[in-house]
Structure 1
Amino acid sequence: MPRPIAQDHDDKRAAILRAAARLFADEGYGRASMSKVARVCGISKANIYHYYPSKEALLFDMLDTHLRYLRDRIGNLSFPSSDPNAKVLHMITEVLLAYQGANAEHEVLLNATKALPPEQQKILRQHQSDLIGYGQAILTAITPPSVVADRDKMRAFTMSVFGMLNWHYKWCRDADAQTRQAHAQVIAQLVIGGAPSLS
């Protein structure tokens, strides 16, 4: 008879993902064993396998959960203003706030994705592509039409913006919400001020 799912299964799973992300970020995915994951989670090795049949399955769920959260948060934004500049600021702010507390997941995403099989990497890349697509749609409204029509140039602009956002955790790892909002203002000013010159 299958073991019933505990009522706190999702909470325990989330705790495992957070602890494993810190371990994988600190020690490297290749060096971190499931025994170590169980130890940092404060549970038995047998219990960790109740949640994940393999380290690979754990890694995929960690990155899939992280990217789906980012994708859905940005894709479902409600904007307080119809002004294109305000929308850009709001999007940039929300991305930085979404990254708060996720430094480890971000580090693992950058360094361990290639350990997954191609079909799982494809799923993760699609989440990232969707996220970039949402951002690009918002940036289009402040971008000269000639740049919007140039697919490569528009992509370069969009990826440059996300580059600033994605590497924020490297130079300000422990930024709180207020600091992130202040940094979003700076980045938004650079993006909004620079966009007209792209033509």
Structure 2
Amino acid sequence: MGRGRHAGYDGQRELILARAAALFARGGYAGTSMNQVAEACGLSKATLYHYYRDKYELLVSIAEGHVTRLQGIVDEALAEEAAPAGQLRMLVRRLVEEYANAQNEHRVLTEDVKFLEGDDRERILAKEREVVAAFARVVAALRPDLQDAAMSTPLTMLLFGMVNWMFTWMRSDGPLAYEEMGPVVTDLFLGGLQAVQAPLRTATLD
């Protein structure tokens, strides 16, 4: 009879993924070795292989885990809100909050996807396309008059551009918190610059 997994096995796997994602985000998948991952986790290389068989399995787990969480966020947001405008606000807010806590994982998903192989690549990209398609359906519901011009997906990608690039210029110690930026993005997307409202916390500091 085989040995069972110890109580902290799943927690250790999650720690390894988080440390590996940080290394991949900083140095790239190709530029990171299993020795570096083991050192970052405070493990021997032999012990690391007890949890993940190789660096490629780490990449798949990081990318697929992240996009699966995004799918869950979409499903929850659409279930919580009935009206398209409310759905969009919930989707953007939850997406910004997730990205704030998973910047390394998101960088791996966007920059290291080229290293995924065959079925793994197609499966993960299909999940990513489902997330985009869900946003596009909400955009289409908000502006049904634009459907004939096939604008829903381009508008959705512009929206994702605002959210995705936010983390290249925002500082965690800056005047705005990540959770405050979701409404700003949605206001700008839905109503233009004149619709943007200053976050309440920031407004009260002036």
Please give the range of the TM-score, normalised by the shorter of the 2 chains. 0.7 to 0.9
Deviation at 1:16, TM superposition (A): 0.4
**In structure 1, the residue corresponding to 2:29 is in which secondary structure?**
coil
Deviation at 1:78, TM superposition (A): 5.5
Farther-moved stretch of structure 1 (38-47 vs 101-110): 101-110
**In structure 2, the residue corresponding to 1:43 is in which secondary structure?**
coil
Match of 1:68 in 2: 68
Farther-moved stretch of structure 1 (20-29 vs 77-86): 77-86
Match of 1:159 in 2: 157
Farther-moved stretch of structure 1 (54-63 vs 25-34): 25-34
Match of 1:13 in 2: 13
Deviation at 1:148, TM superposition (A): 2.1
Letter of the structure 1 residue corresponding to residue 104 of structure 2 = A
Task: Tell me, yes or no, if structure 1 residue 192 matches structure 2 residue 190.
Answer: yes
* Corresponding pairs, count: 191
Contact 1:19 1:40 in 2 (8 A): yes
Q: TM-score, normalised by structure 2?
A: 0.84
Contact 1:71 1:130 in 2 (8 A): yes
Match of 2:46 in 1: 46
Compared CA separation, residues 105 and 43, structure 1 to 2 (3 A):
same
CA distance in 1, matches of 2:39, 2:141: 50
Identity of aligned residues (%): 29
Q: TM-score, normalised by structure 1?
A: 0.87
Contact 1:92 1:188 in 2 (8 A): yes
Contact 2:74 2:91 in 1 (8 A): yes
Match of 2:28 in 1: 28
Deviation at 1:81, TM superposition (A): 5.2
Compared CA separation, residues 181 and 79, structure 1 to 2 (3 A):
farther
Match of 2:123 in 1: 123
Compared CA separation, residues 46 and 83, structure 1 to 2 (3 A):
same
In the alignment, structure 1 segments of 5+ residues that lack a partner are: 195-199
**In structure 1, the residue corresponding to 2:24 is in which secondary structure?**
helix
Letter of the structure 2 residue corresponding to residue 40 of structure 1 = A
Letter of the structure 2 residue corresponding to residue 131 of structure 1 = V
Q: RMSD of the TM alignment (CA)?
A: 2.0
Deviation at 1:134, TM superposition (A): 1.7
In the alignment, structure 2 segments of 5+ residues that lack a partner are: 193-206
Task: Tell me, yes or no, if structure 1 residue 149 matches structure 2 residue 148.
Answer: yes
Higher relative contact order (CA 8 A, sep 6+): 1
Deviation at 1:146, TM superposition (A): 3.0
**In structure 2, the residue corresponding to 1:141 is in which secondary structure?**
helix
Letter of the structure 2 residue corresponding to residue 12 of structure 1 = Q
Deviation at 1:174, TM superposition (A): 2.6
Letter of the structure 2 residue corresponding to residue 121 of structure 1 = R
CA distance in 1, matches of 2:161, 2:117: 25
